Structure 1
Amino acid sequence: MSTKIGIIGAGGMVKYHAAGFRKAGAEIVAIADMNLAAAEKTAAREGVARAFGDVAQMLKQCPELDAVSIIVPNKFHAALALQALKAGRHVFCEKPPALNARETRAMAAAAEKAKRVLMFDFNNRARPESRAMMEYISQGAAGRINSAQAKWVRRTGIPGFGGWFTNKALSGGGPVIDLLHMLDLALWFMGYPEPEWALAQTFSDFITDKSFKGPWGIPDSAKGVTDVENACHGFVRFKTGQVVTLQMSWAELIAREEVSVAFQGVKAGGLVRRLFGQDGIDETATDTCELYAQENGLPVNRSIIVPPDETMGRVNAAANFVAAIEGREKPLNTPDQAVNLMRIIDAVYASARTGRPARC
């Protein structure tokens, strides 16, 4: 019997979730969205038989559902995850896990109580480069990783003005919470140490400048709210003594969009990086996956060649969720890791507000 999944939300990410679930052999039974017309349109496009305008209705009328995926604005992640877990369904939730660590802890506790899988779409862990690098790290090639630099920076990448992305009440924040993937990837490489404190500064100089609008996102809303940051720089210390620096931006005067994690271990350093083209289109991107070591008194740089993945792991991340439910693979992420990630995000914002280091 194949795992049966219902998708909550009819936005653009559905195509990746659907492709991943089907790649792993799952069946998509229904799509729910508060906009029933959108749910019906997406269901028709994806070849899904049933569409609903209410999540509770979907859960009640589709008792065969084993799991749901959640693809909605950040504010609703926690409530929908708790609803699905209480109904006995496994949950695959888009990033960020929730608006803050408190909500994420509640989700983790509910998953444990329900004895169900709770995972998040940290898709960059599922990229071929990341998985290959993690294999080397797991085999001890890097040794203890003392430090890392997590970066996702864009020059013109504000995802619309006045929509939910730029409304803090709906999103939880700007690029710090939206582009948390590289921070998560750095922590994954480092063994997800427990955070101690963060020092950070956010910037909002360009957040209302429409010349910094990105080529993706949602339409502008003239009556909407734009009250989030456009960039952040910060530093995180862990109880182990390890450290991470972070740079996240939707709008910053840089040469080109960069998505990267560099790290420095006691045996080797490494770099996983995607440089996008000047127009921000994936097809012109270049990928790097390298290890740096000293051998026989000489510097040795090793290039790791992997197959390209233009979905940046999105399909494989969804497939891993199904495989984890069925016990065929280990989950690529855990609720405890999500809690620690959101503890850092909370501390980054707290430090930016106060101008002082903040406990995680």
Structure 2
Amino acid sequence: MPTINLAIVGVGKIVRDQHLPAVAGNADYRLVAAASRNGRVEGIDNFGSIEQMLSAVPSIQAVSLCMPPQYRHAAAVQALEAGKHVFLEKPPGATLSEVEDLAALAADRHVSLFASWHSRYAPAVEAAREFLSGTRIRAMRVAWKEDVRQWHPNQAWIWQPGGLGVFDPGINALSIVTRILPRPVFATAATLEFPENRDAPIAASITFTDAAGLDLSAEFDWRQTGRQSWDIVAQTEAGEMVLSEGGAKLSVDGRLLHAEPEQEYPMLYGRFAEIIRAGHSDVDLAPLRHVADAFMLGRRKVVEAFHD
């Protein structure tokens, strides 16, 4: 099949660490342009805005949007209106409504839209899904705790409205949970901890259930120091399942069943090429919907100020 002429918008840390290596290693793509207010990609045409880029490089067929979610809808509309396929870095937008609007626009323009939940492509996620499909789940506990100073140093946008705060990593856990559970869940209560000087939470605790009464709780915290925790533990009739290291390893009753090298972004770009050539979209809003529900149900708790 012909290669896909790809452009990237928003050249920051995630692009340099993940997107550029994944695209370089995939023969389905040819990176032809980039647009960013501050970053540049060597060896291709660079522009200060998506408007300039789309006007100057009509050969672009697909666009990866990697700017903060508060600014993604406007850029996605421009790309979709121009007939380009669009890859949305997670979370796909700042609100459910705007992503639904993009999905409708993509369908109207007969182009593909991809909401890229990268943690669903962690090595052991599908093995966990298969394990849980064959047993009864008694309870599940999610602990997603990390040091914001390590992973998001001096990034003001994450603390602003629409930046999601601790849900920026927490939504990764929710993307896995909604993939591996055999039936949908819904939030029943939440507590969101807001630093007194910030507009987004630094920690959150949520309880969930499903139609069968599943006991599920999640703890997200950005104040973790030392060892970082990205774990999902399920008590089942077939034993205790531990999906650890962000979905990289799967153990049951202490026995390691699955561990492979991480290939999340290469797999994402493989999926994007697949849906482009199939002529359809992949836009699952379940993880973002759970975040929205937590904000709707959540009890707001003000905690001490946070300073970078």
| TM-score (norm. length: structure 2) | 0.83
Assess, with a 3 A threshold, how the Cα gap between structure 1 residues 317 and 263 changes in structure 2: closer, same or farther: farther
- On the 8 A contact 1:32/1:54 being kept in 2, the answer is yes
Structure-2 residue corresponding to 1:203: 193
Whether contact under 8 Å (1:67, 1:90) holds in the other structure is: yes
Please say if residues 20 and 319 of structure 1, whose CA atoms lie closer than 8 Å, have aligned partners that are also in contact. no
Question: Out of 286, 291, 308, which is 2:252 matched to?
Answer: 291
Secondary structure of 1:43's aligned partner: coil
Q: Name the counterpart of 1:229.
A: 201
Structure 1 residues without counterparts, runs of 5 or longer: 209-225, 276-285, 293-300, 356-360
Alignment of 1:1-360 (within 5 A): 1-15=2-16, 16-25=18-27, 26-33=29-36, 35=37, 38-39=38-39, 42-44=40-42, 47=43, 49-137=44-132, 140=133, 142-143=134-135, 145=137, 147-155=139-147, 157=149, 159-160=152-153, 163-169=156-162, 171=163, 173-191=164-182, 193=184, 195-204=185-194, 226-239=198-211, 241-252=213-224, 256-267=227-238, 269-274=240-245, 288-292=249-253, 302-309=255-262, 313-327=264-278, 334-335=282-283, 337-338=284-285, 340-353=286-299
Give, as a single letter, the amino acid of the residue that structure 2 aligns with 1:151: A
Code of the residue aligned with 2:257 in structure 1: it is I
Q: 1:269 to 1:63 in 2, by over 3 A?
A: farther
Deviation at 1:307, TM superposition (A): 2.6
Shift of 1:68: 0.7
2:144·2:221 contact (CA, 8 Å) conserved in 1?
yes
TM-score normalised by length of structure 1: 0.72
- SS of corresponding position for 1:13: helix
1:247, 1:112 → 2: CA distance?
36
AA matched with 1:341:
P
The one-letter amino acid paired with 1:24 is N
Moved more, 17-26 or 240-249: 240-249
Query: CA contact under 8 A between 2:144 and 2:169: conserved in structure 1?
Result: no
* Segment of structure 1 superposing worse, 312-321 or 227-236: 312-321
- Amino acid in structure 1 at the alignment position of 2:23: F
3-state secondary structure, aligned to 1:168: coil
- Mapped to 2, the partners of 1:116 and 1:267 lie a distance apart of 43
Q: Answer with 263-272 or 68-77: which moved more.
A: 263-272
Deviations 1:151-201 (CA, angstroms, capped at 9, x unpaired): 2102564734571121225x1x310244310111011001462x5443100
Specify the SS of the correspondent of 2:78.
helix
Relative to structure 1, the CA distance from residue 124 to residue 197 in structure 2 (aligned partners, 3 Å threshold; closer, same or farther) is closer
Q: CA 1:326/1:266 → structure 2, altered by over 3 Å: closer, same or farther? A: farther
Change (3 A) 1:143 1:64: farther
Equivalent pair of 1:10/1:32 in contact (CA under 8 Å): yes
Counterpart Cα distance in 2 of 1:155 and 1:14: 21
Letter in 1 for 2:51: A
User: What is the total number of aligned residue pairs between the two structures?
Assistant: 297
Q: Distance in 1 between matches of 2:237 and 2:276?
A: 36
Q: CA deviation at 1:147?
A: 4.3
Q: Is the Cα–Cα contact under 8 Å of residues 21 and 319 in structure 1 kept in the other structure?
A: no
Measure how far apart 1:273 and its partner are.
Answer: 0.6
Which segment is superposed worse, 96-105 or 156-165?
Answer: 156-165
Gaps of 5+ in 2: 302-308
How far apart, in 1, do the equivalents of 2:213 and 2:98 lie? 27
